[in-house]
Amino acid sequence: MSSELNQLLKPLRDKIDALDHEILDLLNQRAQTAIEVGKVKHRYDADDAVLKPEREAQVIRALQKDNLYGTFPNSSVEAVWTEIISACRGLERGLTIAYLGPNGSFSEQAAYEFYGHAVQLLECPSFDEVFRAVEAGQADVGMVPVENSTEGAVNRTQDLLLSTTLKIHGERTLAIRHNLMTKSGEMKGVERVLAHPQSLAQCHQWLSVNYPNLPREPAASNSDAARIAAEDPSVAAIAGMHAAAAWELSVVAENIQDDANNKTRFLAIGHVVNQPSGDDQTSLIVAVPNKVGALHDLLTPFSTHGVSMCRFESRPARTGQWEYYFYIDILGHQDDENIRLALRDLESQSSFLKLLGSYPRQSDPTSVI
């Protein structure tokens, strides 16, 4: 039976081997072309334009469109070509990404999913340091969380977006799966649970039911909690599977988040200014005078010019006068005619307007970590 099976499988395996060699040859041709692109850029002093998020999005969308009836899943098309583009980009010039560390954090995973693995990572101890590293040129780009479907906005990121000169050039939404982990894989001897404050909040109900008497303490990040748990058997950490592997921890309980659909949205930030990709989103911050009808006036330009809002959130201005900043996401690129007109009208009615950037929309925000 095994001999007959091998006879049937051999030509199929030979065909796969031949196809793999064809794919490898084409990948090498693509890589060589990427090197030629780099040489052309160098001749025109455009070496800093190695990252073109709108172009990368267009490439992947075109392939997914051509693959409408293909056997290979479109989600895999995006994952594979993200890595191909990353590898070819790296042949032009390396890309350094700042993120909230240490190794194993959700920010690290988001960075890899967005930029691919052919990059250098710079661990930062705080969101402030992520922004500072990119602003100072220690890193080319950064990856930071901005909102969670359960706990809402990441306040520190929003505060930093208000003052930074950096622009948003991309987004990545991840389905977050929290896991309880220890060095031994058991809870015997555990005296406290560590995690980032937002993660503790996202697992509040589960912890209250299963370990109501264990103290919960905040950590700088979930991966930092995992690092501490790897050194201290009295600590249990809440983190993703990536952190468990990075710090050689054993999982006590999986998927302990209270909301099964728990997701976090991350922003890619840097000095890149995107051109239109054909399916974009624009983020901005607005403040309006404290007067009757101010909020109505704020929204009117969007309605007048047919601009669709997909996010609207307020945050205190910290002036002590009950003033607010409004964080708004709209569909389209800031160079689109209707958005350009809406922003013109909005600027005339607002006391503060800051464009955070236009960037390609994530087509299928369902990645799980």
The answer to whether 141 and 169 have CB atoms below 8 angstroms apart is yes
> What pLDDT, on a 0 to 100 scale, did the predictor assign at position 182?
97
pLDDT tens for each residue of 139-182: 999 999 999 888 888 999 999 999 999 999 999 999 999 999 99
Q: Is the pLDDT of residue 366 over 70?
A: no
pLDDT tens for each residue of 113-131: 999 999 999 999 999 999 9
312 is catalytic: no
Distance between CA atoms of residues 139 and 133, nearest Å: 6
Q: Is the pLDDT of residue 132 over 80?
A: yes
Report domain extents, the chain: 2-92, 96-176+264-269, 179-253, 276-360
- The residues, ordered by sequence, that sit 6+ positions from 18 with a Cβ below 8 Å of its Cβ are none
Q: Is 279 exposed, middle or buried (0-12, 13-18, 19+ CB in 10 A)?
A: middle
pLDDT tens for each residue of 304-362: 999 999 999 988 877 656 678 999 999 999 999 999 999 999 998 888 999 999 999 98
82 is catalytic: no
Rg (CA), the chain: 23
**DSSP structural state of residue 19:** H
Q: Which of 106, 114, 266, 302 is catalytic?
A: 266
Q: Is the pLDDT of residue 260 over 90?
A: no
**DSSP structural state of residue 358:** E
pLDDT band at 369 (very low <50, low <70, confident <90, very high): very low
Q: Is the pLDDT of residue 364 over 70?
A: no
Please state the CATH superfamily assignment of the domain spanning residues 179-253 in this structure: Periplasmic binding protein-like II (3.40.190.10)
Q: Which of 264, 282, 302, 326 is catalytic?
A: 264
Distance between CA atoms of residues 316 and 322, nearest Å: 7
Q: Is the pLDDT of residue 368 over 60?
A: no
291 or 280, higher pLDDT: 280
pTM of the model: 0.89
Arithmetic mean of pLDDT, 67-81:
93
Shared fold status for 179-253 and 276-360 = no
**Read out DSSP for 32-96?**
HHHHHHHHHHHHTT-GGGG--HHHHHHHHHHHHHHTTT-SS-HHHHHHHHHHHHHHHHHHH---E
Distance between CA atoms of residues 161 and 177, nearest Å: 27
Arithmetic mean of pLDDT, 248-273:
95
Q: Which CATH class is domain 96-176+264-269?
A: alpha beta
The answer to whether 238 and 222 have CB atoms below 8 angstroms apart is yes
Instruction: Confirm or reject CATH 3.30.70.260 for domain 276-360, answering yes or no.
Output: yes
In this structure, which CATH number among 3.30.505.10, 3.50.50.60, 1.10.150.130, 1.20.59.10 belongs to the domain 2-92?
Answer: 1.20.59.10
pLDDT tens for each residue of 189-225: 999 999 999 899 999 999 999 999 999 999 989 999 9
